[in-house]
Amino acid sequence: MPRSSKTAPPAAATRPRLADIARMADVTISTVSRALAGNPLVKEETRTRIMEIATALNYSANAAAQNLRTGQSRTIGVVVPLDPASRDPVSAPFLLALLGGIIDALTERGYDMLVSRIIVERLDKVAQLYDSGRAEGIIMFGQWGYHEHLNKLTERGVPLVVWGAPLPHQKYATVGSDNALGGELVTGHLLDQGARRIAFFGDIELNEGRLRHQGYHNAHKQRGLMLDPALTRSIPFVGDSMQKEVLSMLEQGIKFDGIFGASDTVALSIIAALTAAGVRVPDDMLVAGYDDIGPAAYANPSLTTIRQPMQEAGQKLVDCLMQQLDGRHAQSVMLPTELVVRASTRRA
């Protein structure tokens, strides 16, 4: 008996269309489109049936045609600000880890990622990604002094989420770890290991650096210890600058027996400088960092640090943005921090 016209597949020479899948699945074309895009509003049973038919037909979406038809690019802009002072490359381990988590989350939802580097002094250009139609929403790494500008973008209705720490009177969503708690945990660990004069290296002009320094201060205060202002070195997150700074402190005879580097890159570069100067870590100096980038576990000595869950961070950033694309309000997310103790703070 011949198959009904409702379920007959298209001719082999004809490229399958959404309409063919809709007819065979007995649903509307818009339902097929939403199911293939992973829209959670489509029932699981319906989505499964549509996906099976699409697979059997070897269907692949014509992205350009789909974008023209829906007015959507299915692309998310990820802005990695470029600080002329540090010039951190996108290949920096922390940035790569966060980008990896974001692209995994976007791929699961059928979105592409457009990475853009914008000089921090020109972050007012961020909106161009959205206004030009190149991106449906924006994920940005840090506020970089553009807090009010980001508030205005949100007021305009630009879908936006920022990796960073929350700020007062914030209207946009942020995803980040508890930087103050992280700073407190790592400083408290250094104090518990016997260090009494701990130097802080990090840029406290940046929101995250400021909060990590606050945690550093809190850990001392909780133990009734006074802080020497000379031990706080607020300079940009640049490896060479940090190395010169720690060597300068040694040459000046400034007494310190522990170092909290506000990022792992800072801490690892400082360890290299100390080693070259004949200072042994951890025997002569305890050193800890922040972020738990890949190289931290394999350095010599391995680095004590604060772990930020990068895979989860990428998922949460995308979740917040998708909520906005669906017309919902996105709440900011505070991720957990974890102290990871390794050889750089363990004395025999």
For residue 200, which of 181, 184, 186, 216 has the smallest C-alpha distance?
Answer: 216
Average pLDDT over residues 306-322: 94
278-310 pLDDT per residue, tens: 999 999 999 999 999 999 999 999 999 999 999
What residue spans of 73-196 are helical by DSSP H? 93-108, 127-131, 147-156, 179-192
Neighbours of 224 (CB within 10 A): 6
The token duo for 121 is: 């002094």
Q: Is 26 left (phi over 0), alpha (psi -120 to 50) or beta?
A: left
When pLDDT is cut at 50, 70 and 90, the band that residue 321 belongs to is very high
Q: Is the pLDDT of residue 68 over 70?
A: no
Residue 12 has pLDDT above 60, yes or no: no
Name the nearest CA neighbour of 203 among 81, 85, 96, 299.
85
- Mean pLDDT score of the chain: 86
- Report all structural domains of the chain as residue ranges with CATH numbers, in order of start: 18-70 (1.10.260.40), 75-176+310-334 (3.40.50.2300), 179-308+340-345 (3.40.50.2300)
**pLDDT computed for residue 9 by the predictor:** 43
Round to whole Å and give the CA distance between 33 and 220.
57
Percent of the chain with pLDDT over 90: 54
pLDDT of residue 237: 64
Least Cα distance to 334 among 130, 153, 164 occurs for 164
Q: How far apart are CA 306 and CA 324, in angstroms?
A: 30
pLDDT tens for 167-213 read 899 999 999 999 999 999 999 999 999 999 999 999 898 889 999 99
| pLDDT grade for 7, boundaries at 50, 70 and 90 | very low
pLDDT attached to residue 65: 47
Distance CA 217, CA 234 (A): 14
Q: Note the pTM of the prediction, 2 decimals.
A: 0.76
Residue type, 145: G
Q: What is the mean pLDDT of residues 30-34?
A: 79
Give CA–CA dist 76/137, Å, rounded.
5
CA atoms of 103 and 338, how far apart (whole Å): 24
**Which residues have a Cβ under 8 Å from the Cβ of 46 and sit 6 or more positions away?**
25, 27, 31, 35
pLDDT band with cut points at 50, 70 and 90 for residue 85? low
Q: Dig out the tokens for 54 from the structure.
A: 């699409």
pLDDT of amino acid 22:
86
pLDDT digits (tens, 9 = 90+) for 335-345: 999 999 999 99
Please write the tens of the pLDDT for every residue from 211-259: 999 999 999 999 999 999 999 998 876 657 888 999 999 999 999 999 9
Which pLDDT score is estimated for 341? 98
What's the N-to-C CA distance of the chain in angstroms?
83
Q: Closest by alpha carbon to 139, among 163, 122, 158, 117?
A: 163
Instruction: Look at residue 33 and tell me whether its pLDDT is greater than 80.
Output: no
DSSP class of residue 14 equals S
Which pairing describes strands 160-163 and 198-201: parallel, antiparallel, or unpaired? unpaired
d(Cα 300, Cα 295) in Å, to the nearest integer?
Answer: 10
pLDDT category, 145, cuts 50, 70, 90?
confident
